[in-house]
Amino acid sequence: MGWVHGIAVTTMAAFLGACASTHVAMPPAQSTALTDTNRTAFEPAGFTSFCERFSDQCRPTPGGSSTIQLTPQTWILLNAVNEKVNGAIWPEDDLKHYGRAEYWTIPTDGYGDCEDYALTKRRDLLQAGLPSEALRLAVVYSEAAGRHAVLTVGTDKGDMVLDNMVGQIKTWRDSGYVWIERQDAANPMRWVALGPSYSGDQTTAVGGSNIPGH
């Protein structure tokens, strides 16, 4: 974990420990990584303006790796951040919240939709010392949620999915989603396609603001 300050991870996990499920079992010994294609994808609506307002969240980490070592301490950290953010934000779609169909932000008023959860988790994990290359926003699709934003974390045990609609962190294969696109590991401003071409409307706003218990 040369790129992670061990003290930062330990401190963050301890700080969030009161609301973290530290007993959550580690994922299987090995899972496959989510493979990018070489095809550039259009960034989601709202992403560019987010980076204009939060430029520090859209920069690569110097010397950062796209794969982190998933130790018990890091697993505690991921679960702590996932649980904290899921419980801190109340779901509300952008049209009702901001009067526009798509507005990506790190909310300060306790309300947000799926991409706002993912952006907040990414910020917290960046602050804990994880590299931006391993923390990649992704757009997925399911019949239940439609287009939906999640955060993927690249680890030596495969890509993990932090999702506001599911409390438990899952591997990408276990998520049940159709994977559309996500940030390029080398350039957070660039998006790449995932898997085969998706026939859905790429310009449709990202939704999925509901989470269990909210």
The pLDDT tens digits for 43-60 are 998 999 999 999 999 999
Q: What confidence category does residue 210 fall into, taking pLDDT thresholds of 50, 70 and 90?
A: very low
Choose among 161, 79, 148: nearest CA to 115.
148
Residue burial 24-37, b: 16+ Cβ < 10 Å; e: rest:
beebeeebebbebe
Residue 161 has pLDDT above 70, yes or no: yes
Residue 5 has pLDDT above 50, yes or no: no
Q: pLDDT tens across 63-113, in order?
A: 999 999 999 999 999 999 999 999 999 999 999 999 999 999 999 999 999
* CA–CA separation, 201 and 61 (whole Å): 32
Q: pLDDT tens across 111-125, in order?
A: 999 999 999 999 999
* CA–CA separation, 214 and 201 (whole Å): 28
Higher pLDDT, 29 or 8: 29
Average pLDDT, the chain: 85
Choose among 75, 181, 172: nearest CA to 137.
181
Place of tokens 């591997």: 171
Q: pLDDT tens across 197-209, in order?
A: 544 444 455 664 4
Domains of the chain: 40-194 (3.10.620.30)
Token pair of 105, please?
A: 């932000």
Q: Provide the pLDDT for residue 51.
A: 96
Question: 189: which residues sit within 8 A by CB, 6+ positions away?
Answer: 43, 51, 58
Residue 153 has pLDDT above 60, yes or no: yes
* CA–CA separation, 100 and 112 (whole Å): 13
